[in-house]
Structures are given as C-alpha cells and as structure tokens.
C-alpha cells in the first residue's frame, strides 16, 4: 500500500516541480524585463534631458524635458578625468534624482562664481563616481548663460546628518557634491553623507575635454533629432 501510494504520487510531484520551475522562469524573465525597461527609460530620459538643455541654452528659459516633468535642466556637470557629463536638474526631489543630480536650495545657478552651490545625487547611480574622485580633480559647471565655471576638489569628508549641518550655504565660492554613504550599503538612506568640496578657480570658455568626456556631444549639433523621435522618446518616461 505504501509503495503504491508513493509510486502514484511521483508523477504529481514531478508535475508540481515543473509548474514551480515554470513559474520561477516566468517570474525571472519578468524581473529581467523590468530591469531592461528601467535602463531603456533611463536612456530615453538622458536624450530628452540633453535636448532640453540645448534648448535652454538657446532660448535662455526653462525647458522641461517632457511635458509632465516637475523639473528642468539648470546646468551641466563635467568631471574630465572620470569622463563624467551630466545634466543638473532644478531640484533634488526624489523623482528628479531618478534622472540626474539636482540642485539643493533656492540659490540660482548663474555665472557668478562667488556663491556656494550644493548638488545632490544617488550614490548608486549618477553620483556613484564620487567614490573615485580625488583631491586636485577638476570639476566644471556650465551655466544657463553658456559660461563655464571651473572648480578644483579640495577635500572629501563623511558627515552625519543627525549631528552635522549639511545645508549651510555661504558666499564662499565653493561647490559641494553630496550623496549617501557608504557607497556599498545594502539598504538605501541612512544618516551618513559623503561630501566632496571643490573651490572655484576661474570662469573659462568651453573646456577642451568636454567633447571627449561626454558620450552625448552630438547633442550640440543643430537639427540632429526630429520632433517625431522626441515624441517617441517621451513614451518611455511614463
């Protein structure tokens, strides 16, 4: 009786195993698809942000990258040694930081290098490069007016948001880049922040390394993209 019962249940056990395996395969494929979709959205967003930035430089007014965006480009961040080229967004809300680093506070982005600026970004995406930045590295900002400000990294430090003042703005010509810390933390958030402080050294023309440092240099070419393509790209941002 026991043997017969075992034999009769074996096909059922195998069938259940196949069902479970199939479900796991489908679920795994869905996860892979979701990951790929996220990358597609990120790529489409960067194209639209670059286009909006070029329109901003041309018109000298805020241009949203897509109609329902709650932010817009206010500058460009270049770190030549690390081949970093990123569009800076008008605020540092959670939704904005999903697409790029954001400006913290109400200070206006301008070609006045006497003011302090504070930028924030996620440690595992746009500001992951901060772990590689070194003292003496050059950081360049392009402003809406088209001018470039050059900064040199002076120091990096780790602050505790529970006890240290992170949002103190001064008239000193400094640029601070802030992200969560540690970089390899398993959980998001946490009280610690990694801060890169850079001092303004000059207003310059277009950096020699800008084109080579940015994979999207073709965005400076007029008429490179059709309006139909722009409309298509906006479909990926929903």
**57-61, 66-70, 72-76: range with lowest mean pLDDT:** 66-70
Which domains does the chain possess? Answer: 63-218 (2.40.260.10)
What pLDDT, in 10s, does the model give residues 109-147? 765 655 689 999 999 999 999 999 999 999 999 999 989
110 exposed, middle or buried (CB, 10 Å; 0-12, 13-18, 19+)?
A: middle
- Token representation of residue 237: 């941002």
CA-wise closest residue to 6 among 14, 92, 29: 14
Closest by CA to 84, choosing from 19, 130, 38, is 130
Handedness of CA 138, 142, 143, 148 (dihedral sign): positive
Q: Is the pLDDT of residue 21 over 70?
A: no
Band the pLDDT of 78: cuts 50, 70, 90: very high
**pLDDT per residue over 184-233, tens digit each?**
988 888 899 999 999 999 766 666 555 443 444 344 444 444 455 565 55
- d(C-alpha 189, C-alpha 171), whole Å: 29
Model pTM score:
0.73
């Amino acid at each position: 009786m026991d043997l017969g019962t075992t034999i009769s249940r074996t096909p059922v056990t195998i069938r259940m195993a196949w069902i479970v395996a199939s479900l796991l395969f489908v679920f795994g494929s869905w996860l892979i698809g979701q990951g790929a979709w996220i990358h597609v959205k990120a790529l489409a967003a960067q194209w639209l942000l670059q286009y909006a930035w070029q329109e901003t430089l041309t018109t000298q007014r805020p241009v949203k990258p897509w109609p329902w965006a709650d932010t817009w480009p206010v500058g460009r961040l270049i770190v030549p040694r690390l081949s970093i080229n990123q569009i800076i967004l008008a605020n540092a809300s959670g939704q904005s930081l999903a697409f790029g680093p954001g400006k913290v506070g109400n200070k206006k982005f301008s070609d006045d290098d006497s003011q302090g600026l504070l930028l924030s970004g996620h440690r595992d995406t746009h500001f992951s490069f901060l772990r590689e930045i070194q003292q003496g590295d050059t950081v360049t900002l392009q402003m809406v007016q088209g001018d470039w400000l050059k900064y040199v990294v002076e120091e990096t430090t780790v602050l505790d948001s529970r006890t240290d003042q992170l949002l103190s703005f001064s008239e000193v010509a400094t640029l601070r880049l802030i992200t969560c810390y540690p970089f390899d933390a398993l959980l998001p958030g946490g009280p610690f922040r990694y801060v890169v402080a850079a001092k303004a050294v000059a207003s310059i023309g277009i950096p020699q390394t800008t084109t080579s440092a940015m994979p999207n240099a073709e965005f400076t070419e007029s008429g490179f993209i059709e309006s139909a393509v722009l409309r298509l790209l906006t479909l990926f941002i929903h």
